[in-house]
């Protein structure tokens, strides 16, 4: 399973890394901002993306999400992981094509479950 982690916060990236690294089948990629995320999507074609919304730079998480869902990579499962938890934020995220919207703080065990239940690519 190719997993892309996109977050500008080092602690969050580290937490996600520790969460997923126990399964040797997982391959992890990390991006600190939107531009890096786009580059990694194109070059690595991940199966699932855990995506922060507010990040430095011109491209935010919602932009990345929309890019994925309107491109050849649209089969990639997108989980938005955001500190913004308002109803309008969630609606906006799903509108832009996200498969799932989770608010921080989140449960690492729940993330693992998502990966386990992910329909295999085909």
Partner 1 sequence: MSDLILIDNQDNQNLLLENTRLSKALAVAELHFSQLTAQLNEVIFIMKDGFFTFLNPAWETITGVSVEQSLNTSIQNYIHFDDINTVWEQLSTADIFPVERQIEFRIIHKNRQVKWVALTAQFNQNQNASIDITGTLRDITNHVITQQALTESEERYELVASSFNDGIWDWDLVSNDVYLSPRWKEMLGYRPAELPNALTTWTSLVHPDDLETALETIKHFLESPATFYQSIHRLKHKQGEWVWILARGIAVRDKSGKASRIYGSHTDVTLLRNVEEALLQRERELSDIVTISPDGIVTFTPENKVSSVNPAFLTMTGFQRDDLLLISKDEFDQKMMMLCDSKKPYKIAIENAVPLLIEISITKKETGRASEQTLQNLKFNFSHNQPPHRILRLTQYYLNNATTAIIMYFRDVTLEIEMDRMKSEFLSVVAHELRTPISSIYGYSELLINREFDNAAKRDVLQAIYEQCTGLVNMINELLDLARMETRSQQFFHFELHPLITIIKETISSFKMCEDLRKIEAYYFVDESSLIYADKNQIKRALLNVLSNAFKYSPNSHNIILEVQLRTSVLGEAQIGVTVEDKGIGIRPNQVSHIFDRFWRADNVGDIIGTGLGMALVKEIIDFHHGEIEVQSVFEQGTKIGLWLPLHESQSIEKEG
Considering the rule CB under 8 A, would residue 23 count as an interface residue with partner 1? no
CB of 122 to partner 1, least distance (A): 30
Considering the rule CB under 8 A, would residue 108 count as an interface residue with partner 1? yes
Count of all residues that appear for the chain in the document: 122
Give CA torsion, residues 92, 94, 100, 103, to 10 deg. 10
Considering the rule CB under 8 A, would residue 3 count as an interface residue with partner 1? no
Return the number of the residue (9 or 45) whose C-beta is nearest partner 1.
Answer: 9
Query: Pick from 60, 69, 84, 94: which binds partner 1 (CB under 8 A)?
Result: 84
Contact window for partner 1 (CB under 8 A) among 4-12, 37-45, 69-77, 93-101: 4-12
Could you tell me how far CA 88 lies from the centroid of its own chain?
A: 19
3-state secondary structure of 78: strand
Q: With both helix axes pointing from N to C terminus, report the angle between 108-117 and 10-20 in degrees, rounded to the nearest 10.
A: 50
Contact window for partner 1 (CB under 8 A) among 9-17, 38-46, 63-71, 91-99: 9-17
Query: Pick from 57, 91, 113, 121: which binds partner 1 (CB under 8 A)?
Result: 57
Nearest to 7 by CA among 66, 49, 63, 67: 49
Considering the rule CB under 8 A, would residue 109 count as an interface residue with partner 1? yes
Q: Is the dihedral of CA 61, 95, 81, 40 positive or negative?
A: negative
Considering the rule CB under 8 A, would residue 12 count as an interface residue with partner 1? yes
């Amino acid at each position: 399973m190719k997993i892309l982690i996109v977050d500008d916060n080092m602690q969050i990236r580290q937490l996600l890394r520790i969460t997923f690294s126990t399964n040797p089948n997982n391959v992890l990629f990390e991006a600190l901002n939107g531009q890096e995320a786009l580059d990694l999507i194109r070059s690595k074609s991940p199966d699932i993306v855990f995506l922060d919304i507010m990040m430095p730079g011109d491209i935010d998480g919602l932009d990345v999400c929309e890019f994925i869902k309107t491109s050849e990579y649209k089969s990639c499962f997108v989980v938005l992981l955001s500190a913004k938890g308002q109803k309008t934020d969630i609606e906006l995220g799903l509108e832009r094509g996200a498969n799932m919207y989770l608010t921080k703080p989140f449960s690492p065990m729940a993330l693992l479950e998502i990966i386990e239940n992910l329909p295999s690519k085909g």
